Each structure stands twice: as C-alpha cells, then as structure tokens.
Amino acid sequence: MSTGLNFDCSDAGAWKHALSSYESRIESLNKPNLVSLDQFYRQELPSLLHQRDPNPYITTSELSELMKWKLTRGKWRPRLLDFVSSLDESSVKSASGKAFESLPDISKAVSELTVLKGIGPATASAVLAAYAPETAPFMSDEAMMAVLGTSKDYSLKQYLLFTSKIQAKAKELSSEDESFTPSGIERALWSSVTDAKLKTSGKKRKR
C-alpha cells in the first residue's frame, strides 16, 4: 500500500506539491467543521497569539477550539475535549505564557503545558506550532508514522526525536528560493499520507 511521500525524499518540488495539496485534503475528508477549524488553527489563532506579544498566551476557549481541530483532523477522543474545556482560565494563560517564553527550548515548553489536565505532548505540540511554526511541528499520527515508523508513543522523548528530524528536513529542503518550516513539513507529510489513505479506501469501495 502506498503511504505517500517518503520522508527521505530530497526533492523540494515533491514536498512543495504535497504541502500545496493540504487544503484540498482537509476538504476531501468531509468532516464536520474541519475546514473552518483548520482555518482557525492555521490563520486566526497564530494572529491572536502574536497580537499579545511580548507576553503571549492562549485562552481556554482558544485551547478548546485547537483541541477540536486536533481531534477532528485526527482521532476523536471526546474526554480530552471535556478536560480542556473545563480548565481554569488563569491556569491556561499562565502555563501557555511560560511555555511560549521557554521557546526555543521545546522540551521545557512542552513540560510547561503538560501540567494542564488533558494536555499531553501531542496537544502541547499543536499549541507551540500555532505560535512558532518555524520551531515546533505538530505531533500528528500521520507525520509520526512517516518520520519514525510508529505513532503509538506520545512521550516527550519521542516528540523531541520527531522534532529534531523534522527540523533537519526543513533545513535540508530550504534554499534561497524555497523556505520550509517544521510545521510545513508536518503538513506536507499529513497531506501525502491522507491522500494515500483516501485513494486506498476509494479502491476498496470500488471492488
């Protein structure tokens, strides 16, 4: 079965094509509200966070929307959303503020966020990627499979290994003409893996 773009691929054009297909892959999943949630996560939320510089933070309602995006784009786990939605506003602002301040130390930034109930390294990575896409990639199952060959381990150690490989790939592919961020690499991988899955499920339906 095709799994899409090979992580070892050094062709910047192939990565650019996969990344440019991201929005159409989001649409093709036909999941309720995913298009608007994705727009919030990739466009509105980063703008909101940076408007609060030099002391950025995320609010509980924004974190809830981010969690909806994460669960809708990936696997739906309603309990996580319940945990996040009931978090104390001041705790969320404090933890996220400390996390953003810790960057580019990703290990410390993740640790600051995971004190919050319902927030593991994967959700923490989504928060960091929204604020600093040039530093932190989102720890999606699809990208984890492509980079590490497994998506079962959501530990901080695994995320740091994943991040180092993604950062190296972004650096390798970037040139004077092309600029790739770690977040862009994750989206390209997600887009490519999702495309391969959709094609495979389409073939199965035709049989």
d(Cα 133, Cα 19) in Å, to the nearest integer? 14
Q: Is 101 helix (H, G, I), strand (E, B) or coil?
A: helix
Mean of pLDDT values over 86-111: 97
- Contact criterion met (CB below 8 Å) for 9 and 15: yes
Please write the tens of the pLDDT for every residue from 101-124.
999 999 999 999 999 999 999 999
- Confidence label for 204 from pLDDT (cuts 50, 70 and 90): low
Please write the tens of the pLDDT for every residue from 29-61.
999 999 999 999 999 999 999 999 999 999 999
- Confidence label for 5 from pLDDT (cuts 50, 70 and 90): confident
Residue with tokens 């510089």: 53
- Contact criterion met (CB below 8 Å) for 159 and 122: yes
Range of weakest confidence among 17-26, 115-124, 146-155 = 146-155
d(Cα 189, Cα 201) in Å, to the nearest integer? 18
pLDDT at 95: 98
Question: Domain extents for the chain?
Answer: 12-194
- Confidence label for 2 from pLDDT (cuts 50, 70 and 90): very low
Q: Mean pLDDT across the chain, nearest whole number?
A: 93
- Confidence label for 3 from pLDDT (cuts 50, 70 and 90): low
And the tokens for 48?
């909101």
Backbone torsion region of residue 30, taken as left when φ is above 0, otherwise alpha when ψ lies between -120 and 50, otherwise beta: left
Q: Is the pLDDT of residue 203 over 60?
A: no
pLDDT at 66: 97
Mean of pLDDT values over 60-85: 93
